[in-house]
Amino acid sequence: MDYDILDTSLADGGDLRIEWAASRMPVLEAIKERFIKEQPLAGVRIGACMHVTTETANLMLTLIAGGAEVALCASNPLSTQDDVAAALARAEIPTYAVRGEDSDKFYEHINAVLDTNPHLVFDDGADMTTVLHKERTDQAVVGGMEETTTGVIRLKAMEADDVLRYPIVAVNDSATKHLFDNRHGTGQSSLDGILRASNILFAGKRVVVAGFGDCGWGIATRAKGLGSDVIVTEIDPVRAVAATMEGHRVMTGLEAAELGEVFITATGNIHVFRAEHFARMPDGAIIANAGHFDVELDLIALDEMSVSRRVIRDNLEEFVLEDGRRILVVAEGRLVNLGAAEGHPADVMDMSFADQALAAEWIIQNQDELQAKVYVLPEELDEEVARLKLEAMSGSLEQLTAAQEHYLASWEHGT
Ligand SMILES: NC(=O)c1ccc[n+]([C@@H]2O[C@H](COP(=O)([O-])OP(=O)(O)OC[C@H]3O[C@@H](n4cnc5c(N)ncnc54)[C@H](O)[C@@H]3O)[C@@H](O)[C@H]2O)c1
Protein backbone atom coordinates (compact mmCIF):
# COMPACT_ATOMS: atom_id res chain seq x y z
CA MET A 1 0.00 0.00 0.00
CA ASP A 2 1.42 3.35 -1.07
CA TYR A 3 1.22 6.56 0.97
CA ASP A 4 3.06 9.83 1.58
CA ILE A 5 2.71 11.29 5.04
CA LEU A 6 5.00 13.09 7.51
CA ASP A 7 5.62 10.54 10.24
CA THR A 8 4.02 7.16 10.95
CA SER A 9 4.89 7.43 14.65
CA LEU A 10 2.14 10.06 15.03
CA ALA A 11 -0.55 7.45 14.38
CA ASP A 12 -1.48 6.72 18.02
CA GLY A 13 -2.31 10.37 18.68
CA GLY A 14 -4.27 10.52 15.44
CA ASP A 15 -6.32 7.47 16.40
CA LEU A 16 -7.32 9.02 19.72
CA ARG A 17 -8.44 12.26 18.10
CA ILE A 18 -10.34 10.40 15.36
CA GLU A 19 -12.12 8.40 18.07
CA TRP A 20 -13.01 11.62 19.91
CA ALA A 21 -14.43 13.17 16.73
CA ALA A 22 -16.48 10.01 16.08
CA SER A 23 -18.08 10.41 19.49
CA ARG A 24 -19.32 13.87 18.35
CA MET A 25 -20.70 12.58 15.00
CA PRO A 26 -23.82 10.52 15.81
CA VAL A 27 -25.49 11.00 12.42
CA LEU A 28 -22.46 9.81 10.49
CA GLU A 29 -22.09 6.90 12.93
CA ALA A 30 -25.74 5.88 12.33
CA ILE A 31 -25.10 5.93 8.59
CA LYS A 32 -21.96 3.87 9.14
CA GLU A 33 -23.94 1.21 11.04
CA ARG A 34 -26.42 1.00 8.16
CA PHE A 35 -23.61 0.93 5.59
CA ILE A 36 -22.02 -2.03 7.40
CA LYS A 37 -25.23 -4.02 6.94
CA GLU A 38 -26.25 -2.85 3.45
CA GLN A 39 -22.84 -2.40 1.74
CA PRO A 40 -24.13 0.27 -0.69
CA LEU A 41 -20.61 1.09 -1.89
CA ALA A 42 -19.36 -2.47 -2.38
CA GLY A 43 -16.62 -2.46 -5.00
CA VAL A 44 -16.68 1.34 -5.44
CA ARG A 45 -13.29 3.04 -5.61
CA ILE A 46 -13.28 6.53 -4.08
CA GLY A 47 -10.68 9.26 -4.52
CA ALA A 48 -10.98 12.09 -2.01
CA CYS A 49 -9.31 15.50 -2.01
CA MET A 50 -10.36 16.94 1.34
CA HIS A 51 -8.94 18.58 4.45
CA VAL A 52 -7.18 15.72 6.25
CA THR A 53 -8.80 16.17 9.64
CA THR A 54 -10.32 13.88 12.26
CA GLU A 55 -13.78 14.44 10.78
CA THR A 56 -12.65 13.54 7.26
CA ALA A 57 -11.05 10.40 8.72
CA ASN A 58 -14.45 9.39 10.04
CA LEU A 59 -16.05 10.02 6.66
CA MET A 60 -13.42 7.80 5.03
CA LEU A 61 -14.06 5.05 7.61
CA THR A 62 -17.81 5.29 6.94
CA LEU A 63 -17.29 4.92 3.18
CA ILE A 64 -15.02 1.93 3.76
CA ALA A 65 -17.63 0.42 6.11
CA GLY A 66 -20.05 0.71 3.17
CA GLY A 67 -17.76 -1.43 1.01
CA ALA A 68 -15.68 1.26 -0.73
CA GLU A 69 -11.94 1.40 -1.31
CA VAL A 70 -10.66 4.87 -0.50
CA ALA A 71 -7.57 6.96 -1.30
CA LEU A 72 -7.16 10.45 0.18
CA CYS A 73 -5.10 13.58 -0.41
CA ALA A 74 -5.22 17.11 1.02
CA SER A 75 -7.43 19.85 -0.42
CA ASN A 76 -5.23 22.59 1.03
CA PRO A 77 -1.48 22.59 1.66
CA LEU A 78 -1.88 23.83 5.23
CA SER A 79 -4.95 21.96 6.47
CA THR A 80 -3.49 18.48 6.95
CA GLN A 81 -3.34 17.14 10.49
CA ASP A 82 -0.23 14.97 10.26
CA ASP A 83 -1.29 12.67 13.11
CA VAL A 84 -4.55 11.92 11.30
CA ALA A 85 -2.69 11.24 8.05
CA ALA A 86 -0.44 8.83 9.97
CA ALA A 87 -3.40 7.03 11.53
CA LEU A 88 -5.10 6.63 8.16
CA ALA A 89 -1.95 5.31 6.50
CA ARG A 90 -1.55 2.81 9.36
CA ALA A 91 -5.15 1.73 8.76
CA GLU A 92 -4.04 0.90 5.21
CA ILE A 93 -5.85 3.80 3.57
CA PRO A 94 -3.58 5.22 0.83
CA THR A 95 -3.08 8.75 2.18
CA TYR A 96 -1.05 11.47 0.49
CA ALA A 97 -0.87 14.58 2.66
CA VAL A 98 1.82 16.47 4.54
CA ARG A 99 1.05 19.75 6.30
CA GLY A 100 2.94 22.57 4.57
CA GLU A 101 3.46 20.69 1.30
CA ASP A 102 4.33 22.90 -1.67
CA SER A 103 2.26 23.31 -4.79
CA ASP A 104 4.17 20.62 -6.75
CA LYS A 105 3.68 18.10 -3.94
CA PHE A 106 0.01 19.11 -3.62
CA TYR A 107 -0.64 18.20 -7.27
CA GLU A 108 1.61 15.14 -7.12
CA HIS A 109 -0.64 13.91 -4.30
CA ILE A 110 -3.82 14.63 -6.27
CA ASN A 111 -2.40 12.62 -9.16
CA ALA A 112 -1.42 9.76 -6.83
CA VAL A 113 -5.05 9.50 -5.71
CA LEU A 114 -6.30 9.70 -9.29
CA ASP A 115 -3.88 6.90 -10.23
CA THR A 116 -6.11 4.61 -8.13
CA ASN A 117 -8.79 5.12 -10.84
CA PRO A 118 -11.64 6.22 -8.57
CA HIS A 119 -15.26 5.74 -9.63
CA LEU A 120 -16.29 8.58 -7.30
CA VAL A 121 -14.39 11.79 -6.53
CA PHE A 122 -14.90 13.71 -3.28
CA ASP A 123 -13.57 17.24 -3.71
CA ASP A 124 -13.28 20.37 -1.56
CA GLY A 125 -12.54 23.38 -3.74
CA ALA A 126 -12.63 21.48 -7.07
CA ASP A 127 -8.87 21.11 -7.52
CA MET A 128 -9.10 17.36 -8.17
CA THR A 129 -12.07 17.91 -10.46
CA THR A 130 -10.10 20.53 -12.39
CA VAL A 131 -7.19 18.11 -12.91
CA LEU A 132 -9.69 15.58 -14.27
CA HIS A 133 -11.08 18.19 -16.66
CA LYS A 134 -7.81 19.77 -17.79
CA GLU A 135 -5.19 17.03 -17.72
CA ARG A 136 -6.66 13.58 -17.18
CA THR A 137 -9.52 14.02 -19.61
CA ASP A 138 -9.65 10.34 -20.66
CA GLN A 139 -10.09 9.02 -17.14
CA ALA A 140 -13.61 7.63 -16.64
CA VAL A 141 -15.41 8.80 -13.48
CA VAL A 142 -18.96 7.86 -12.42
CA GLY A 143 -19.66 10.92 -10.30
CA GLY A 144 -18.42 13.45 -7.78
CA MET A 145 -19.21 15.39 -4.66
CA GLU A 146 -18.19 18.99 -3.91
CA GLU A 147 -17.91 20.25 -0.35
CA THR A 148 -17.48 24.03 -0.53
CA THR A 149 -18.98 27.21 -2.00
CA THR A 150 -15.90 28.07 -4.05
CA GLY A 151 -15.85 24.58 -5.58
CA VAL A 152 -19.55 24.79 -6.46
CA ILE A 153 -18.98 28.16 -8.17
CA ARG A 154 -16.26 26.53 -10.30
CA LEU A 155 -18.52 23.57 -11.14
CA LYS A 156 -21.36 25.82 -12.22
CA ALA A 157 -18.94 27.67 -14.50
CA MET A 158 -17.91 24.29 -15.98
CA GLU A 159 -21.55 23.31 -16.45
CA ALA A 160 -22.29 26.65 -18.14
CA ASP A 161 -19.30 26.11 -20.48
CA ASP A 162 -20.65 22.62 -21.24
CA VAL A 163 -17.41 20.94 -20.22
CA LEU A 164 -18.56 18.98 -17.16
CA ARG A 165 -17.82 15.29 -17.77
CA TYR A 166 -19.88 13.54 -15.07
CA PRO A 167 -22.61 14.29 -12.49
CA ILE A 168 -21.49 16.12 -9.35
CA VAL A 169 -23.49 16.71 -6.20
CA ALA A 170 -23.00 20.20 -4.76
CA VAL A 171 -23.05 18.98 -1.17
CA ASN A 172 -22.37 22.55 -0.01
CA ASP A 173 -25.81 23.57 -1.23
CA SER A 174 -27.66 21.14 1.06
CA ALA A 175 -29.43 23.04 3.83
CA THR A 176 -27.88 20.73 6.42
CA LYS A 177 -24.44 21.73 5.13
CA HIS A 178 -24.17 25.43 4.41
CA LEU A 179 -26.63 26.68 7.03
CA PHE A 180 -24.65 24.99 9.79
CA ASP A 181 -21.11 24.14 8.67
CA ASN A 182 -20.45 27.45 6.89
CA ARG A 183 -22.23 29.50 9.55
CA HIS A 184 -21.55 27.87 12.90
CA GLY A 185 -18.46 25.88 11.91
CA THR A 186 -16.57 28.66 10.14
CA GLY A 187 -17.87 31.26 12.60
CA GLN A 188 -16.46 29.56 15.66
CA SER A 189 -13.36 27.95 14.18
CA SER A 190 -12.10 31.05 12.34
CA LEU A 191 -12.05 32.97 15.59
CA ASP A 192 -10.46 29.90 17.21
CA GLY A 193 -7.66 30.07 14.61
CA ILE A 194 -7.02 33.78 15.23
CA LEU A 195 -7.08 33.19 18.99
CA ARG A 196 -4.61 30.30 18.86
CA ALA A 197 -2.27 32.31 16.62
CA SER A 198 -2.45 35.61 18.50
CA ASN A 199 -4.20 35.14 21.87
CA ILE A 200 -5.86 38.57 21.44
CA LEU A 201 -8.95 39.64 23.33
CA PHE A 202 -11.89 40.00 20.98
CA ALA A 203 -13.90 42.09 23.45
CA GLY A 204 -13.71 45.73 22.46
CA LYS A 205 -11.88 45.09 19.18
CA ARG A 206 -13.09 46.56 15.91
CA VAL A 207 -13.37 43.46 13.71
CA VAL A 208 -13.90 43.88 9.98
CA VAL A 209 -15.60 40.94 8.25
CA ALA A 210 -15.45 41.02 4.44
CA GLY A 211 -18.45 39.18 2.97
CA PHE A 212 -21.70 38.56 4.81
CA GLY A 213 -22.60 35.21 3.24
CA ASP A 214 -22.96 32.08 5.33
CA CYS A 215 -19.36 32.12 6.58
CA GLY A 216 -19.28 35.89 7.09
CA TRP A 217 -22.56 35.73 9.01
CA GLY A 218 -21.03 33.14 11.32
CA ILE A 219 -17.79 35.05 11.87
CA ALA A 220 -19.52 38.40 12.45
CA THR A 221 -22.09 36.87 14.80
CA ARG A 222 -19.49 35.09 16.91
CA ALA A 223 -17.18 38.14 17.03
CA LYS A 224 -20.11 40.28 18.19
CA GLY A 225 -20.88 37.64 20.81
CA LEU A 226 -17.35 38.01 22.14
CA GLY A 227 -17.85 41.74 22.51
CA SER A 228 -16.29 43.01 19.29
CA ASP A 229 -17.50 46.05 17.40
CA VAL A 230 -18.15 44.40 14.01
CA ILE A 231 -17.87 46.19 10.67
CA VAL A 232 -18.98 44.39 7.50
CA THR A 233 -18.00 45.00 3.90
CA GLU A 234 -20.24 43.62 1.15
CA ILE A 235 -20.88 43.99 -2.57
CA ASP A 236 -24.43 42.61 -2.40
CA PRO A 237 -27.01 45.17 -1.24
CA VAL A 238 -29.35 42.56 0.27
CA ARG A 239 -26.62 41.01 2.36
CA ALA A 240 -25.39 44.49 3.31
CA VAL A 241 -28.86 45.31 4.64
CA ALA A 242 -28.95 41.96 6.44
CA ALA A 243 -25.65 42.83 8.15
CA THR A 244 -26.96 46.26 9.11
CA MET A 245 -30.07 44.73 10.66
CA GLU A 246 -27.88 42.36 12.67
CA GLY A 247 -26.40 45.50 14.22
CA HIS A 248 -23.14 45.71 12.26
CA ARG A 249 -21.85 48.83 10.55
CA VAL A 250 -21.51 48.40 6.77
CA MET A 251 -18.99 50.43 4.81
CA THR A 252 -16.46 50.17 2.00
CA GLY A 253 -13.23 48.27 2.47
CA LEU A 254 -11.22 51.51 2.31
CA GLU A 255 -13.30 53.11 5.06
CA ALA A 256 -13.10 49.95 7.16
CA ALA A 257 -9.32 49.69 6.63
CA GLU A 258 -8.78 52.85 8.67
CA LEU A 259 -10.96 51.68 11.55
CA GLY A 260 -10.38 47.95 11.86
CA GLU A 261 -8.02 46.16 14.19
CA VAL A 262 -8.76 42.60 13.00
CA PHE A 263 -9.71 41.87 9.37
CA ILE A 264 -11.24 38.56 8.25
CA THR A 265 -12.17 37.76 4.65
CA ALA A 266 -14.89 35.23 3.76
CA THR A 267 -15.90 36.16 0.23
CA GLY A 268 -14.59 33.47 -2.16
CA ASN A 269 -13.19 36.43 -4.13
CA ILE A 270 -9.70 37.68 -4.99
CA HIS A 271 -7.65 40.55 -3.45
CA VAL A 272 -10.39 41.75 -1.13
CA PHE A 273 -7.75 43.47 0.98
CA ARG A 274 -4.86 44.75 -1.13
CA ALA A 275 -2.17 47.45 -1.20
CA GLU A 276 -4.59 50.38 -0.89
CA HIS A 277 -6.11 48.81 2.22
CA PHE A 278 -2.79 47.83 3.79
CA ALA A 279 -1.65 51.43 3.27
CA ARG A 280 -4.48 52.60 5.56
CA MET A 281 -4.53 49.90 8.23
CA PRO A 282 -3.40 50.86 11.73
CA ASP A 283 -0.23 49.57 13.34
CA GLY A 284 -0.74 46.03 14.65
CA ALA A 285 -3.66 45.16 12.38
CA ILE A 286 -4.26 41.41 12.19
CA ILE A 287 -5.42 40.04 8.86
CA ALA A 288 -6.83 36.55 8.26
CA ASN A 289 -8.74 34.69 5.57
CA ALA A 290 -11.53 32.17 6.05
CA GLY A 291 -12.34 31.78 2.34
CA HIS A 292 -11.28 28.67 0.44
CA PHE A 293 -8.27 29.98 -1.48
CA ASP A 294 -5.36 32.07 -0.24
CA VAL A 295 -6.05 34.85 -2.75
CA GLU A 296 -8.46 36.95 -0.68
CA LEU A 297 -5.55 38.83 0.91
CA ASP A 298 -3.05 40.19 -1.62
CA LEU A 299 0.02 39.03 0.27
CA ILE A 300 2.32 39.55 -2.70
CA ALA A 301 1.48 43.26 -2.55
CA LEU A 302 1.95 43.25 1.22
CA ASP A 303 5.36 41.65 0.81
CA GLU A 304 6.36 44.26 -1.78
CA MET A 305 5.30 47.07 0.57
CA SER A 306 7.25 45.60 3.49
CA VAL A 307 10.82 46.26 4.59
CA SER A 308 10.97 43.13 6.74
CA ARG A 309 8.95 40.12 7.81
CA ARG A 310 9.34 37.53 10.54
CA VAL A 311 7.32 34.73 12.11
CA ILE A 312 6.49 36.08 15.54
CA ARG A 313 4.32 33.21 16.85
CA ASP A 314 3.09 29.92 15.41
CA ASN A 315 0.90 30.78 12.41
CA LEU A 316 1.45 34.53 12.85
CA GLU A 317 3.79 36.50 10.60
CA GLU A 318 4.63 40.15 11.11
CA PHE A 319 5.17 42.39 8.07
CA VAL A 320 6.80 45.77 8.77
CA LEU A 321 5.95 48.57 6.33
CA GLU A 322 8.29 51.43 5.40
CA ASP A 323 6.70 53.81 7.91
CA GLY A 324 7.16 51.25 10.70
CA ARG A 325 3.54 50.05 10.86
CA ARG A 326 3.18 46.33 11.45
CA ILE A 327 0.59 44.08 9.80
CA LEU A 328 0.19 40.57 11.13
CA VAL A 329 -0.89 37.76 8.83
CA VAL A 330 -2.47 34.63 10.26
CA ALA A 331 -1.74 31.19 8.74
CA GLU A 332 -0.15 32.57 5.55
CA GLY A 333 -3.56 33.86 4.43
CA ARG A 334 -4.83 30.31 4.01
CA LEU A 335 -8.09 29.09 5.57
CA VAL A 336 -7.48 30.40 9.08
CA ASN A 337 -9.64 27.85 10.85
CA LEU A 338 -7.76 24.91 9.35
CA GLY A 339 -4.33 26.54 9.16
CA ALA A 340 -4.22 27.84 12.72
CA ALA A 341 -6.83 25.69 14.48
CA GLU A 342 -8.43 22.29 13.91
CA GLY A 343 -11.14 23.31 11.45
CA HIS A 344 -14.80 22.93 12.18
CA PRO A 345 -15.85 21.00 15.25
CA ALA A 346 -16.95 17.41 14.63
CA ASP A 347 -20.45 18.25 15.91
CA VAL A 348 -21.14 20.30 12.79
CA MET A 349 -19.11 18.24 10.30
CA ASP A 350 -21.40 15.40 11.39
CA MET A 351 -24.13 16.79 9.13
CA SER A 352 -21.86 17.85 6.25
CA PHE A 353 -20.26 14.43 6.07
CA ALA A 354 -23.56 12.60 6.53
CA ASP A 355 -24.62 14.54 3.40
CA GLN A 356 -21.42 13.43 1.66
CA ALA A 357 -21.95 9.75 2.53
CA LEU A 358 -25.59 9.85 1.39
CA ALA A 359 -24.62 11.69 -1.80
CA ALA A 360 -22.14 8.92 -2.66
CA GLU A 361 -24.81 6.26 -2.12
CA TRP A 362 -27.34 8.29 -4.16
CA ILE A 363 -24.96 8.69 -7.12
CA ILE A 364 -24.17 4.98 -7.18
CA GLN A 365 -27.87 4.07 -6.97
CA ASN A 366 -28.87 6.54 -9.71
CA GLN A 367 -25.79 6.48 -11.95
CA ASP A 368 -27.71 5.24 -15.01
CA GLU A 369 -30.11 8.21 -14.96
CA LEU A 370 -27.80 11.05 -13.93
CA GLN A 371 -26.30 13.40 -16.49
CA ALA A 372 -23.14 15.48 -16.53
CA LYS A 373 -24.72 18.23 -14.41
CA VAL A 374 -24.43 19.83 -10.99
CA TYR A 375 -27.04 18.28 -8.68
CA VAL A 376 -28.19 19.05 -5.17
CA LEU A 377 -28.85 16.27 -2.71
CA PRO A 378 -32.57 15.32 -2.85
CA GLU A 379 -34.56 17.21 -0.21
CA GLU A 380 -35.69 14.02 1.54
CA LEU A 381 -32.06 13.05 2.20
CA ASP A 382 -31.27 16.56 3.46
CA GLU A 383 -34.28 16.35 5.79
CA GLU A 384 -33.30 12.88 6.94
CA VAL A 385 -29.92 14.21 8.06
CA ALA A 386 -31.66 17.04 9.95
CA ARG A 387 -34.07 14.58 11.59
CA LEU A 388 -31.22 12.36 12.79
CA LYS A 389 -29.27 15.38 14.08
CA LEU A 390 -32.30 16.76 15.92
CA GLU A 391 -32.84 13.37 17.52
CA ALA A 392 -29.19 13.22 18.56
CA MET A 393 -29.53 16.70 20.08
CA SER A 394 -32.60 15.51 22.05
CA GLY A 395 -35.03 17.66 20.10
CA SER A 396 -38.38 16.41 18.84
CA LEU A 397 -40.50 17.51 15.92
CA GLU A 398 -44.11 18.69 16.03
CA GLN A 399 -46.43 16.62 13.81
CA LEU A 400 -49.08 18.15 11.56
CA THR A 401 -52.69 17.31 12.49
CA ALA A 402 -54.93 16.08 9.65
CA ALA A 403 -56.73 19.45 9.72
CA GLN A 404 -53.44 21.34 9.45
CA GLU A 405 -52.29 19.17 6.57
CA HIS A 406 -55.57 19.82 4.77
CA TYR A 407 -55.37 23.57 5.51
CA LEU A 408 -51.86 23.88 4.10
CA ALA A 409 -52.84 22.00 0.95
CA SER A 410 -55.97 24.06 0.26
CA TRP A 411 -56.44 27.52 -1.20
CA GLU A 412 -60.15 28.22 -0.56
CA HIS A 413 -59.75 29.52 3.01
CA GLY A 414 -59.38 33.30 3.09
CA THR A 415 -59.87 36.26 5.42
N1 LIG B 1 -12.97 28.13 6.25
C2 LIG B 1 -13.79 27.14 6.03
O3 LIG B 1 -13.72 26.07 6.65
C4 LIG B 1 -14.87 27.32 5.01
C5 LIG B 1 -16.09 26.65 5.16
C6 LIG B 1 -17.08 26.86 4.22
C7 LIG B 1 -16.83 27.71 3.14
N8 LIG B 1 -15.61 28.31 3.01
C9 LIG B 1 -15.28 29.22 1.91
O10 LIG B 1 -15.58 30.55 2.36
C11 LIG B 1 -15.91 31.38 1.24
C12 LIG B 1 -17.28 32.01 1.48
O13 LIG B 1 -18.25 30.97 1.55
P14 LIG B 1 -19.79 31.30 1.83
O15 LIG B 1 -20.48 29.99 1.87
O16 LIG B 1 -19.93 32.25 2.95
O17 LIG B 1 -20.15 32.03 0.44
P18 LIG B 1 -21.35 33.06 0.16
O19 LIG B 1 -21.49 33.12 -1.31
O20 LIG B 1 -22.54 32.70 1.00
O21 LIG B 1 -20.80 34.46 0.73
C22 LIG B 1 -19.78 35.22 0.15
C23 LIG B 1 -20.16 36.69 0.32
O24 LIG B 1 -19.06 37.50 -0.03
C25 LIG B 1 -19.57 38.65 -0.72
N26 LIG B 1 -18.48 39.23 -1.52
C27 LIG B 1 -17.96 38.80 -2.71
N28 LIG B 1 -16.95 39.60 -3.09
C29 LIG B 1 -16.80 40.55 -2.12
C30 LIG B 1 -15.91 41.65 -1.93
N31 LIG B 1 -14.97 41.96 -2.84
N32 LIG B 1 -16.06 42.39 -0.80
C33 LIG B 1 -17.01 42.10 0.12
N34 LIG B 1 -17.88 41.08 -0.01
C35 LIG B 1 -17.78 40.31 -1.11
C36 LIG B 1 -20.72 38.09 -1.55
O37 LIG B 1 -21.62 39.11 -1.94
C38 LIG B 1 -21.34 37.10 -0.57
O39 LIG B 1 -22.36 37.69 0.21
C40 LIG B 1 -15.83 30.46 0.03
O41 LIG B 1 -14.54 30.52 -0.53
C42 LIG B 1 -16.05 29.07 0.63
O43 LIG B 1 -15.58 28.05 -0.20
C44 LIG B 1 -14.65 28.16 3.94
Of the residues 267, 272, 293, 330, which should be mutated to test ligand 1's pocket, given the most ligand atoms within 8 Å of the CB? Answer: 267
Checking if the pLDDT of 224 tops 90, the result is: yes
Residue 156 confidence class, pLDDT cut points 50, 70, 90:
very high
Question: Which residues face 134 on adjacent strands?
Answer: none
Q: Is 345 in the pocket of ligand 1 (CB under 6 A)?
A: no
Give the span between the Cα atoms of 134 and 216, in whole angstroms.
32
Q: pLDDT digits over 108-147, tens only?
A: 999 999 999 999 999 999 999 999 999 999 999 999 999 9
Find out whether the beta carbon of 288 lies less than 6 Å from any atom of ligand 1. no
Cβ-contact 60, 92 below 8 angstroms = no
Do 284 and 380 lie in a common domain? Answer: no
Residues 299 and 254 in one domain: yes
The boundaries of the domain holding residue 120 are 8-177+344-392
pLDDT exceeds cutoff 90 at 414: no
The pLDDT of 23-31, averaged and rounded, is: 98
- Distance from Cα 12 to the centre of ligand 1, integer Å: 36
Distance CA 152, CA 201 (A): 35
What's the pLDDT band for 58 if we cut at 50, 70, 90? very high
Say yes or no: CB of residue 266 within 6 Å of ligand 1: yes
Check pLDDT > 90 for residue 337.
Answer: yes
Taking residue 392's Cβ as centre, other Cβ atoms within 10 Å add up to 17
Task: Decide if 51 contacts 349 (C-beta within 8 A).
Answer: no
Of 304, 339, 374, at which residue does a domain stop?
A: 339
Residue 31 pLDDT = 98
Are 89 and 138 part of one and the same domain?
A: yes
Residue 317 is given by DSSP the state E
Widest pairwise Cα distance in the chain: 73
Same domain for 32 and 52, yes or no, is: yes
Shared domain check, 167 and 35: yes
Residue 269 in contact with ligand 1 by CB distance below 6 A:
yes
CA distances to 5, 60, 355, 364, 372 from 368, rounded to whole Å, are 37, 25, 21, 9, 11
> What pLDDT band is residue 232 in, cutting at 50, 70 and 90?
very high
**Ligand 1 atom with the shortest distance to the CA of 215:** 16
Same domain, 149 and 194: no
Quote the Cα angle for 124-125-126, to 5°.
Answer: 95
* Average pLDDT over every residue of 280-301: 98
Which positions ≥6 away from 182 have C-beta within 8 Å? 149, 172, 213, 214, 215, 218
Q: For ligand 1, say whether the CB of 148 is within 6 Å of any of its atoms.
A: yes
Is 94 a domain residue? yes
Shared domain for 228 and 196, answered yes or no, is yes
User: Measured from the CB, is residue 292 less than 6 Å from ligand 1?
Assistant: yes
pLDDT reported for residue 119? 98
Would residue 406 count as lying in a domain?
no
What is the 290 CA–ligand 1 centroid distance (Å)? 8
| Residue range 66-85, pLDDT digits in tens | 999 999 999 999 999 999 99
Residue 200 lies in a domain: yes
What's the rounded Cα separation, in Å, for the pair 26 and 34? Answer: 12
CATH number at residue 23: 3.40.50.1480
pTM for this predicted structure: 0.96
Q: Is residue 325 located within the same domain as residue 384? A: no
Residues with Cβ < 8 Å from 43, sequence gap 6 or more? 67
My answer on whether 203 and 225 are in the same domain is: yes
Residue at 151 is within a domain: yes
Domain contains 114: yes
Q: Could you give the number of structural domains in the chain?
A: 2
Distance (Å, whole) CA 199 – CA 205: 13
- What backbone torsions phi and psi does residue 14 show, to the nearest 5 degrees? -60, -45
Within a domain: 302: yes
Q: Which of 339, 355, 377 is the last residue of a domain?
A: 339
pLDDT at 9 over 90: yes
349 in the same domain as 334: no
pLDDT at 26: 98
Q: If pLDDT is split at 50, 70 and 90, which confidence band does 1 have? A: confident
pLDDT given at position 228: 98
Is the per-residue pLDDT at 56 higher than 90? Answer: yes
Nearest to 165 by CA among 142, 188, 189: 142
| Cα 209 versus chain centre, distance | 17
Q: Where are the alpha helices (DSSP H) in 167-320?
A: 175-177, 186-198, 214-225, 237-245, 253-259, 275-278, 299-305
Residue 20 pLDDT greater than 90, yes or no: yes
Q: Is residue 236 within 6 Å of ligand 1 at its C-beta?
A: yes
Do 172 and 304 sit in the same domain of this protein?
no
CA distance 341 to 272: 23
Q: What is the pLDDT of residue 234?
A: 98
| Percent of the chain topping pLDDT 70 | 100
Q: What is the pLDDT of residues 350-406, one digit of tens each?
A: 999 999 999 999 999 999 999 999 999 999 999 999 999 999 999 999 999 999 999
Residue 413 predicted with pLDDT over 90 = no
d(CA 333, CA 299): 8
Is the confidence at residue 327, as pLDDT, over 90?
yes
Same domain, 29 and 136: yes
**Cα gap 280→256, rounded to integer Å:** 9
Domain end (from 339, 360, 384): 339
- Domain with residue 290: its CATH number is 3.40.50.720
Helix (H) or strand (E) holding 208: strand 206-210
Mean pLDDT over 287-296 rounds to 97
User: What per-residue confidence (pLDDT) applies to 366?
Assistant: 98
Q: How much is the mean pLDDT over the chain? A: 97
Ligand 1 center–CA 409 separation, angstroms: 37
Residue nearest to atom 10 of ligand 1 (CA): 291
User: Is the pLDDT at 415 greater than 90, yes or no?
Assistant: no
Residue 130, domain member (yes or no): yes
